[in-house]
């Protein structure tokens, strides 16, 4: 009898141990999202709804993006669960949820603050950007067009898809201004594509500026649509500044 009880207990343990070690992401999906910073219910109307956490993130929901009363939640996920990037340093990561969906026909505007203390001395604004995280591919994807304010330390962009979001700055690069009309950027790692997707006015590092959309040019090079900046794929880039 005692032997049968022991066997029964052993079998029960064999069932319970795997269950015990099941990821908390499965057992407690809410905890898996990270720390909840905000939960707010709102009724959409004819005006843009602004939801903000001071010096962290601002979510602008335009009319038509949401059609019924819904709840906005903002989480601070565990950043150690995200794959690092070879050329970009990601600042605070946030996960924004609006209702039960994450795709919107009317784009939302997101403004994220970055920590200026993490930016090396006099880094050029061209080094800033924003990205979303693809869970399936475990990879960051940069937004083609963002607006960076180096005075307020913010990066703004529009998106029709919500997931983990972050502002980023490049690292592992050096740069300098050769003269008044040309900026030269050298990327030591050879990953030069991120340097070619912003507009920067020489001699004014504390200014607002608009990054430009890119297209792929002949031979696989990346060209700016206004023709000011070209990336030759060799790690060396020059740009004429027509405003001087």
- What is the C-alpha to C-alpha distance for residues 154 and 150, in angstroms, rounded to an integer? 7
Max avg pLDDT among 73-87, 96-110, 160-174, 222-236: 96-110
Lowest average pLDDT, out of 38-42, 133-137, 181-185, goes to 181-185
Max avg pLDDT among 95-99, 204-208, 228-232: 95-99
**Beta carbons of 79 and 33 less than 8 angstroms apart:** no
- What is the C-alpha to C-alpha distance for residues 101 and 161, in angstroms, rounded to an integer? 9
- What is the C-alpha to C-alpha distance for residues 183 and 238, in angstroms, rounded to an integer? 6
**In this model, does residue 19 exceed pLDDT 50?**
no
Question: Which residues fall within 8 angstroms of residue 192, CB to CB, at 6 or more apart?
Answer: 185, 231, 233, 234, 235, 237
β-sheet with 214-216: strand ranges across:
214-216, 222-224, 230-231
- Please write the tens of the pLDDT for every residue from 174-224: 444 444 433 334 333 343 333 333 333 333 333 333 333 332 223 333 332
Label residue 11 by pLDDT band (50, 70, 90): low
Label residue 110 by pLDDT band (50, 70, 90): very high
Q: Which domains does the chain have, with CATH numbers?
A: 25-170 (2.60.220.30), 173-240 (no CATH)
User: What beta strand segments (E) does 135-225 contain?
Assistant: 139-142, 147-149, 154-161, 164-170, 173-177, 182-187, 208-210, 214-216, 222-224
Lowest average pLDDT, out of 59-68, 118-127, 218-227, goes to 218-227
Query: What backbone torsions phi and psi does residue 196 show, to the nearest 5 degrees?
Result: -105, 20
């Amino acid at each position: 009898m005692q032997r049968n009880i022991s066997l029964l207990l052993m079998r029960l343990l064999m069932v319970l141990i795997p269950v015990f070690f099941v990821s908390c992401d499965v057992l407690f999906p809410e905890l898996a999202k990270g720390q909840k910073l905000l939960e707010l219910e709102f009724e959409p109307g004819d005006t843009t709804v602004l939801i903000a956490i001071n010096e962290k993130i601002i979510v602008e929901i335009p009319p038509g993006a949401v059609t019924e009363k819904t709840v906005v939640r903002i989480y601070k996920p565990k950043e150690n669960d995200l794959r690092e990037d070879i050329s970009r340093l990601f600042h605070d990561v946030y996960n924004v949820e609006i209702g039960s969906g994450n795709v919107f026909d009317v784009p939302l505007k997101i403004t994220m603050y970055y920590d200026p203390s993490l930016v090396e001395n006099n880094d050029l604004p061209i080094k800033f950007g924003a990205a979303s995280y693809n869970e399936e591919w475990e990879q960051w994807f940069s937004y083609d067009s963002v607006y960076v304010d180096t005075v307020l330390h913010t990066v703004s962009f529009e998106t029709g898809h919500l997931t983990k979001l972050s502002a980023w700055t490049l690292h592992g690069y050096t740069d300098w201004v050769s003269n008044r009309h040309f900026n030269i950027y050298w990327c030591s790692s050879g990953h030069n594509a991120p340097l070619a997707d912003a507009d920067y006015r020489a001699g004014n590092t504390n200014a607002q500026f608009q990054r430009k959309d890119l297209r792929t040019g002949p031979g696989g090079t990346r060209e700016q649509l206004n023709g000011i900046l070209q990336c030759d794929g060799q790690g060396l880039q020059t740009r004429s500044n027509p405003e001087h």
